[in-house]
A and B are shown apart, each in its own frame.
Chain A
């Protein structure tokens, strides 16, 4: 008996290792493909990186010198080798548009974006899932209609507009929340961020007044983002749930005399949890990838605006690493939800 278990155990480990290496291989191929495409797009775009540095009034000699400095006179394959070599060493150089080292910039903007995205995701999940379940359980009743209208608004209202209205009402008229920016100027010098996640830093340093001010500033943009993401999560939850509630096992559970609450949460919800995980993970990826409009209205120094500004200015030193980050983020989130699937879904465990 023990013999058999040991055998299946080693068999499982072997299969897991196999799956893991296959997964890694495919990730590497995907990443290489992503790099190659980014490189090609960078060369195909009609943007002139030399003029992005030197400006409209540059002399012809300065132009030629700079394009040599940037390696643009080399054959394409050599440029690609340099490009890959820099990427492997995480050396993205200085940004043309911000003058800073891209790695330093990225650490700063990613901190701002992660903080905003996590809070927005919390709001979206805490509200979205119960609302979706409620709508499905009360299918066709007023609760369902209410949720559907609410999510429709969340889906279709432009975030830019929502953000401005929010600022006018809650900041300018009522003064309940902070205005654009991450922190009031008054606090800017009392507080030295360490990780880029200001909320975490201020809490660790015990600076509660700063923490309060940070919350005041983040709450509105996070709510606006959370509201639109909530709409997506609630709609998906509702449709997953409706599908489950029409299954025969639900009927059986009801026939056994299980309460409505138990049927919904104990039986049906457990079956949609895995699917919901993917939805939440994807929402998070979209939030991280950039929320340019919200960042613009709220002057939030995040990843989305950084990426877009770089793109508009033809700053390939920014565009390349940002494209890769977005790519890696999606690959990672897919991978994590894949792994969680395996753990949570008993059918995939074998």
Chain B
């Protein structure tokens, strides 16, 4: 009984004392984020933003994007590299002190094995590697081990070296994994895929310590990291799905960083001296796609009319306030070859023009069509806005919202009239988007090129195909940029894609966070300081 009373009073005092204080430890970062999307930590499969961000903090690549400028490639696991005169071979020298979190040294064999593994497993990220000419048949020739510390990459097609470094070597699909360790953990011939779904086996500054789905991800510094030890010993990412709850936690100081911010909360945060907001333009576009194999969207004038039905400026000040900037072209701002901000956003709300275009196309009395949406929070209000404006011209659009796997299934199966969705690219180069949204060399049903949105919309432009091929193999950057410029201008008004906004990532930080290192593609946890 006495024990019970003591216990009770201790619990009560705990209750009272812990309410008074609310501060996170000085050497730990606590972040709130909706991380429902995380489904795996295997670099061959990771594609969604949260897991991707964490992968780059737990796993080093041979070369990396500079924290201050994403278009610059900097050394990482490889301390240096040389390019052959014919620009077809890149030789990397791996750091002598580079070690995996298990303590095993990073060898060239690990690099080659990991790249082959990506192709052999053939999961989400294998396709990107094939895009650059690497496949199961040529991989033994392409990924060569010269000695323990020297790895050689042989280009199979004459792509520019800079592009290969960015798109292949610095990409998560080429992350060197701990071969010896994973071979022990492998189940059958899964190359450690089962293990890596919930763990990491890399050489980055952090190690994935714990992941409870729908609850928390905990990263801790690696004991064997080759570089400088990060200031934050531990990074705790708490899964807080509701933005309002994140806001309350941040205001009370129970977390250091809130990642999901409502547009409406931005102004309040700016007025709060304890909090500052850092806004980063993402490489992510909100867009619509139309099926050109059937009426009415087989006529580009109908799609051009849709472009004039959005009040971009009005939306920027309301629904999209702080969430994105108008962008009507396929290459996101910031990527190599991208059009400027003004040039990339020429459209305005003009219902008269839209009406004239519809009349020209023979739809003066309007038509009806369906719009499929995924369940992201931005698509619904934008689609609603379009429906209202379209109805003024007699166009009846029916919105259907669905789970993204259902939306993708219809979109890829050419079984839709129009969709609204979000596309993210991982490459700060025009080629990233052009290869998906401009090129289509075989539009036949048999080719089943469902990876390409161009094929999904049954659209192909031989002129654009030619320009894209010229650009990709052009070694002179100025000439390359010029081809992309022409390509974008042509694509902007003739393609079956209506680009609306380039999205922003807003991060709300407690004032104690003195430096937060992030750009469009990555957030560097080892650059965060309190």
Residues of A whose CB lies within 8 Å of any CB of B are: 45-49, 51-63, 65, 94-100, 105, 108-109, 164, 167-168, 171-172, 175-181, 184-186, 188, 203, 206, 208-213, 215-216, 296-299, 301, 305-306, 309, 312-314
Docked-complex contact A309 and B122, CB < 8 angstroms: no
Cβ of B39 < 8 Å from any Cβ of A?
Answer: yes
A108, closest chain B residue (CB): B212
The answer, among B10, B11, B239, for a CB contact under 8 Å with A301, is B239
Cβ of B449 < 8 Å from any Cβ of A?
Answer: yes
The answer, among A62, A105, A171, A306, for a CB contact under 8 Å with B127, is A62
Cβ of B84 < 8 Å from any Cβ of A?
Answer: no
The answer, among A45, A57, A61, A99, for a CB contact under 8 Å with B213, is A99
Please judge, given known A-B contacts A57-B47, A62-B122, A172-B248, whether A51 and B412 are in contact too, CB under 8 Å: yes
Docked-complex contact B10 and A208, CB < 8 angstroms: yes
Docked-complex contact A299 and B238, CB < 8 angstroms: yes
The answer, among A105, A188, A306, for a CB contact under 8 Å with B236, is A188
Known: A56-B411, A216-B19. 15 other contacts (CB 8 A): A48-B409, A51-B409, A57-B128, A63-B450, A96-B39, A105-B213, A177-B19, A209-B10, A211-B11, A216-B15, A297-B242, A299-B239, A299-B245, A306-B214, A309-B214
| Residue interface bits B23-49, CB-to-A below 8 A is 1, else 0 | 011001010000010111100000100
The answer, among B10, B128, B375, B409, for a CB contact under 8 Å with A47, is B409
Docked-complex contact B451 and A57, CB < 8 angstroms: yes
The answer, among A48, A178, A180, A186, for a CB contact under 8 Å with B405, is A48
A314 CA to B11 CA, complexed, in Å: 43
Chain A residue numbers with a CB within 8 Å of B124 are: 54-55, 57-58, 62
Chain B residue numbers with a CB within 8 Å of A51 are: 405, 408-409, 412
Docked-complex contact A184 and B18, CB < 8 angstroms: yes
Docked-complex contact A209 and B14, CB < 8 angstroms: yes
Please judge, given known A-B contacts A167-B245, A171-B248, whether A99 and B15 are in contact too, CB under 8 Å: no
A59 CA to B409 CA, complexed, in Å: 13
The answer, among B18, B20, B240, B409, for a CB contact under 8 Å with A299, is B240
B214, closest chain A residue (CB): A301
Cβ of B343 < 8 Å from any Cβ of A?
Answer: no
9-residue interface stretch from B60-68, B153-161, B249-257: B249-257
Docked-complex contact A309 and B254, CB < 8 angstroms: no
Docked-complex contact A47 and B126, CB < 8 angstroms: no
Docked-complex contact B127 and A57, CB < 8 angstroms: yes
Chain B residue numbers with a CB within 8 Å of A181 are: 238, 240
Chain B interface secondary structure, helix, strand, loop or mixed? Answer: mixed
- 3 cross-chain pairs, A with B, having the tightest CB-CB distances, nearest first: A212-B14, A98-B213, A99-B197
Please give the distance in Å from A286's CB to the nearest CB on chain B: 21
Chain A residue numbers with a CB within 8 Å of B404 are: 56, 313
Docked-complex contact B130 and A59, CB < 8 angstroms: yes
Residue from B216, B244, B405, B406 whose CB has the most chain A CB atoms within 10 Å: B405
Docked-complex contact B252 and A179, CB < 8 angstroms: yes
Docked-complex contact A215 and B245, CB < 8 angstroms: no
A299 CA to B34 CA, complexed, in Å: 10
Docked-complex contact A313 and B405, CB < 8 angstroms: yes
B251, closest chain A residue (CB): A172
Docked-complex contact B254 and A184, CB < 8 angstroms: yes
A188 CA to B409 CA, complexed, in Å: 41
| Residue interface bits B191-210, CB-to-A below 8 A is 1, else 0 | 00010011000000000000
Chain B residue numbers with a CB within 8 Å of A180 are: 240, 242, 245, 248-249
Docked-complex contact A94 and B406, CB < 8 angstroms: no
A176 CA to B20 CA, complexed, in Å: 9
Docked-complex contact B448 and A60, CB < 8 angstroms: yes
A100 CA to B239 CA, complexed, in Å: 16
A96 CA to B45 CA, complexed, in Å: 12
- A–B pairs, 8, beta carbons within 8 Å: A59-B122, A59-B130, A105-B213, A184-B18, A184-B254, A208-B10, A216-B15, A299-B241
Chain B residue numbers with a CB within 8 Å of A185 are: 24, 28, 30, 236, 238, 254
